[in-house]
């Protein structure tokens, strides 16, 4: 049924969360195990460790947690990323809206991606705005202790990601809203839809088919046309197999 919807829809948008990347062995730090690990090792929950206030006042511990728990440089795209890229390449998917910061959609070959929370592959100096790669902040020689420093002005280099207490990028929100409004099919996958303001974007969808793919229930299940509680990688790979190998 979902395969038929994808083939008949004129404008399909995918909106994804952490569950899309957990199958690439990138842990969801909001999961129970992630919460317990952060509290046990660092003494704070992830929402505190990754907050703007904590970054400003305790940068050493922020970067210690960030580098160990949010950077997975060796992670590879999984079946979900590859399936979405294939759908886009064949004109069956117009846009990917992601809450993830890992860059795996790009690595899989997807082109039209809106990153609501930024990307840990981009860094910038807070003082002179010079841009840096992910690799730069991982080289000890570029850091003062564990804190990355700009080689031009000596300012702190931070990841281009949205921390707790910070506003989402206005341009990204506008692009995501516009894409959802224009969609006749919206597939939401790998997200519990409890993190706002991102989850609130669903209220802009006025199309025909709302599809939710998540291992557990979400607050929006009752509004969806199709609800699938299963692995997002399995579901999307089965769909592309059905569409392209008839």
Could you list the pLDDT tens digit for every one of the 246 residues in the chain? 888 999 999 999 999 998 999 889 887 766 655 556 788 888 998 899 999 999 999 999 999 999 998 898 889 999 999 999 999 999 999 999 999 999 999 999 999 999 999 999 999 999 999 999 999 999 999 999 999 999 999 999 999 999 999 999 999 999 999 999 999 999 999 887 777 677 789 999 999 999 999 988 888 888 899 999 999 999 999 999 999 886
**Residue 118 in contact with residue 164, Cβ under 8 Å?**
no
Class of 119-161 per CATH? alpha beta
pLDDT at 2: 87
Contact predicate 38/65, CB 8 Å:
yes
Q: How far apart are CA 120 and CA 235, in angstroms?
A: 27
What's the pTM value of the predicted model, to 2 decimals?
Answer: 0.92
209 assigned to active site? no
What single DSSP character describes residue 20?
Answer: G
CA of 227: how far to CAs of 60, 63, 161, 194, in Å? 43, 38, 30, 17
pLDDT of residue 56: 97
Selecting among 117, 121, 222, 229, the annotated active-site residue is 117
Round to whole Å and give the CA distance between 74 and 102.
11
Which residues lie below 8 Å from residue 103, measured CB to CB, with a gap of 6+? Answer: 119, 120, 121
| pLDDT at site 234 | 93
106-126 in b/e form (b: 16+ CB < 10 A) is: bbbebeebbbbbbbbbbbbbe
Which superfamily, per CATH, for 1-26+76-117+168-246? TPP-binding domain (3.40.50.1220)
CATH 3.30.1600.10 region(s) of the chain?
A: 119-161
Q: Where in the chain is the domain with CATH 3.40.50.1220?
A: 1-26+76-117+168-246
**Cα separation, 124 vs 131, whole angstroms:** 4
pLDDT at 194: 74
Contacts of 22 (CB under 8 A, 6+ apart): 28, 190
């Amino acid at each position: 049924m979902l395969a038929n919807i994808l083939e008949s829809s004129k404008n399909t948008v995918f909106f994804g969360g952490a569950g899309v990347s957990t199958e690439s062995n990138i842990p969801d730090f909001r999961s129970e195990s992630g919460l317990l690990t952060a509290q046990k090792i660092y003494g704070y929950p992830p929402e505190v460790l990754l907050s703007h206030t904590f970054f400003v006042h305790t940068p050493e511990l922020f970067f210690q947690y960030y580098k160990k728990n949010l950077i997975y440089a060796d992670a590879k795209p999984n079946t979900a990323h590859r399936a979405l890229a294939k759908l886009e390449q064949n004109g069956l998917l117009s846009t990917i809206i992601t809450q993830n910061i890992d860059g795996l959609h790009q690595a899989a070959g997807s082109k039209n991606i809106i990153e609501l929370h930024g990307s840990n592959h981009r860094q910038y100096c807070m003082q002179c705005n010079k841009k840096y790669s992910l690799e730069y902040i991982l080289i000890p020689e570029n850091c003062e202790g564990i804190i990355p420093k700009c080689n031009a002005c000596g300012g702190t280099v931070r990841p281009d990601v949205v921390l707790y207490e910070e506003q989402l990028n206005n341009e990204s929100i506008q692009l995501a809203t516009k894409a959802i409004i224009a969609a006749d099919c919206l597939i939401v996958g790998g997200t519990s839809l409890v993190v706002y303001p991102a989850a609130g974007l669903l209220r802009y969808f006025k199309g025909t088919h709302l599809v939710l793919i998540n291992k557990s229930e979400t607050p929006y299940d009752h509004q969806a046309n199709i609800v699938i509680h299963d692995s997002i990688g399995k579901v999307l790979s089965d769909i592309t197999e059905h569409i392209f190998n008839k």
